[in-house]
Structure 1
Amino acid sequence: MREYLIGKNDEGNRVDRFVSQVLPRLPKSLLYKSIRLRRIKLNGKRCEISTRLREGDVLRLYISDEFFSDAPEEKRFLLAPAVVDILYEDDNILLADKKPGLLVHEDESEQVDTLIHRIQHYLYDKGEYRPEEEHVFAPALCNRIDRNTGGIVIAAKNAASLRILNQKIKDRELHKKYLCIVHGQLPRPSDTLRAYMVKDENKNQVEVFDSPAPGRRTMVTKYRVLDEKGRFSLLEVNLITGRTHQIRAHMAHIGHPLLGDTKYGRNRDNRDTGFRYQALYSYALTFSFSTDAGILSYLDGKTFTVPDVWFQREFEEGKIH
């Protein structure tokens, strides 16, 4: 028998989800059978699959030891540097300014130096993340940014904040603005572009079309020209829809690919520019809640902006033209 005292970051989890996380080797069929046969008890009583856990609850699992792991969990995040460019931080969230070239999560290459590992290491050093005291929770990212794109990434320090932010992002109550440099000069100082896209999962690339068709998803992109110099334009972009590679693919589709973008642009156009990554930055984030945000209500109406986007500075100084 194993006993788990439910902590603050476990609260709100369904019984089946919690057990699946602490016992990943336990087959789902055996999990449900154990609940049905009262081999999983909450506060000494029978519980249901969908029962929500509360802080202070005691969950007892009368399950074979073979499904438990007594090996200490490897703290892989400690192998990453505890270096984070912090734009804002409080008790619940952290806003990181991710630089181009840094992965947000581990991928198939299993690279340890990722943004989430850096954040976890940073919080561990501060004493705000104690993995030995957590059953299932670890500080987590609420949004992603491509490796070669820079900008604001939101990290939740506790489970309640993670749940709220995930829902707010789903409900589109957080708004981001982007800066980018494109090849050429736009025909209008501002515009709302509409097109239709299909993603090739194997190539991780988007194909864009002017007309709708079955399987094509609508993409809507607003832009405003901030400055023009020679063969390049500096834009502020607002995404009405949130599709894969939307800004990169949409701007390339209208004949103005991003500077440094080798996937949607042309190599010969970028060859002599010195740009290793596409000139794209998620530089502003606004919390605009239309529904209750619980412990994060204090963020409503606040906007956070990256103070110095390197390519914008170089553009304005005339170093990119």
Structure 2
Amino acid sequence: MQTLIIAEDSSNKRIDKVLKEKYPNMPQNFMYKAFRKKDVKVNGIRVKEDYIANLGDKVEVYIIDEILEGKSISEPTDYFKAFTVIYEDKNLLIVNKKQGIPVHPDKDQAENTLIDLVTAYIREKEVTSKTSGFSPALCHRLDRNTGGLIIIAKNNEALKVMLEKIKNKEVKKYYQCLVRGKMEKPQGILKAYLEKDERKSRVYINDYKTRNSLEIITKYKTLSIIDNITADDSASLLEVELVTGRTHQIRAHMSYIGHPIVGDGKYGDNTLNRTLKAKYQALWAYKLKFEFSKGGGILNYLNGKEFKVMPDFSNILPIRNI
């Protein structure tokens, strides 16, 4: 922890700018995380990054000296090694998340998550309001090892509207995935029931309803067939639309019908995965469509828009050119 007194050349500036000037080697994602954790105090009171410093203010920064000085810490992940920006305006951000990046802190990773890096990126550009104090928020989630499109709200009203639209299925989400074998039908609608086991962090699929299960509906169509993915197997590249959006739904549902996703270590075929040296599951959230039926409030300008990216399945060695 360090303490500083605001001098005349730092007064009337935002406190985050003061800290940037005082500690130029400190990674910014650490600084903004300190604000979120309320680890910056002025005159004994916790403040947000938009606080305007006054002459004589006593600032206490509860960050270890090594981080403040940029010493003895691993380099922060470069933003664009974790995500690329697909769309951005004053209300929201749509990014294409790389595989292997968790969207928020979990038991395996507390730093350099997607929301940490996106927050640092937005703060650095000073896109958000200087007075709202709103921290960028995820509108939905993706598994760590699933790549693809994520919507992040920059203000409370945008978050409220987007959560409502997602809940009402007015934001259509489409995925591409590579599954083992050839589908029995080129397209179809799959229905089953999913039960979640929190302790094991996995789900189970059945054709019948149980007390704790929820119905799942998964639409798919075959985009292409890859013959001889190994000496014994072919594979199918599918477009999948989630009608219901349950935990691990696509991965578990495809496995249940005998066509597990290539590279999926939890629900997939590990013999096939080892043969292909697949590092991540071949699953990508590749398209979003905004179809607002009753207007979209401050986001109404998005109605009818579509955003799409190309999936990156390059970690699956034999099929780099899909």
Length-normalised TM-score, structure 1: 0.72
- The residue number in structure 2 matching 1:57 is none
1:199 to partner: Cα distance: 0.5
- The residue number in structure 2 matching 1:197 is 194
Q: Which amino acid aligns with 2:153?
A: A
Counterpart check, 1:284 vs 2:287: yes
Gapped regions of structure 1 (runs ≥ 5): 1-21, 25-64
Distance of 1:73 and 1:301 partners within structure 2: 46
Q: 1:208 aligns with which of 201, 205, 219?
A: 205
1:111 to partner: Cα distance: 2.4
1:81–1:113 Cα contact (<8 Å) kept: no
2:276–2:316 Cα contact (<8 Å) kept: no
- The residue number in structure 2 matching 1:244 is 247
Distance of 1:196 and 1:123 partners within structure 2: 40
Distance of 1:273 and 1:200 partners within structure 2: 29
- Per-residue CA deviation, residues 88-135 of structure 1 (Å, 9 max, x unaligned), is 11111110000100011111345211111111111111122477x444
- The residue number in structure 1 matching 2:161 is 164
- Per-residue CA deviation, residues 271-310 of structure 1 (Å, 9 max, x unaligned), is 111211110000000011112311110000100001x222
- Per-residue CA deviation, residues 176-206 of structure 1 (Å, 9 max, x unaligned), is 1000000011110111111111110011111
Distance of 2:224 and 2:254 partners within structure 1: 16
- The residue number in structure 2 matching 1:147 is 144
- What does residue range 1-321 of structure 1 map to in structure 2 within 5 Å? 69=46, 81-83=78-80, 84-129=83-128, 133-135=131-133, 137-230=134-227, 231-306=234-309, 308-311=310-313, 319=320
Q: Which amino acid aligns with 1:117?
A: D
Distance of 1:266 and 1:197 partners within structure 2: 20
Gapped regions of structure 2 (runs ≥ 5): 1-35, 48-59, 68-74, 228-233
Q: Which amino acid aligns with 2:175?
A: Y
**Identity of aligned pairs, percent?**
41
Q: Which amino acid aligns with 1:249?
A: A
1:80–1:117 Cα contact (<8 Å) kept: no
Distance of 2:319 and 2:274 partners within structure 1: 19
SS in 2 for 1:85: strand
1:313 to partner: Cα distance: 11
Distance of 1:72 and 1:127 partners within structure 2: 21
Distance of 2:187 and 2:315 partners within structure 1: 21
- Per-residue CA deviation, residues 51-99 of structure 1 (Å, 9 max, x unaligned), is xxxxxxxxxxxxxx99x6475587x9x9554434001111111100001
SS in 2 for 1:221: strand
1:95–1:153 Cα contact (<8 Å) kept: yes
Q: Which amino acid aligns with 2:257?
A: I
1:81–1:121 Cα contact (<8 Å) kept: no
Alignment length, in residue pairs?
A: 254
1:171 to partner: Cα distance: 1.4
Distance of 2:205 and 2:109 partners within structure 1: 31
Distance of 2:163 and 2:62 partners within structure 1: 26
- The residue number in structure 2 matching 1:34 is none
SS in 2 for 1:125: helix
1:124–1:130 Cα contact (<8 Å) kept: no
Distance of 2:298 and 2:147 partners within structure 1: 28
Distance of 2:129 and 2:301 partners within structure 1: 26
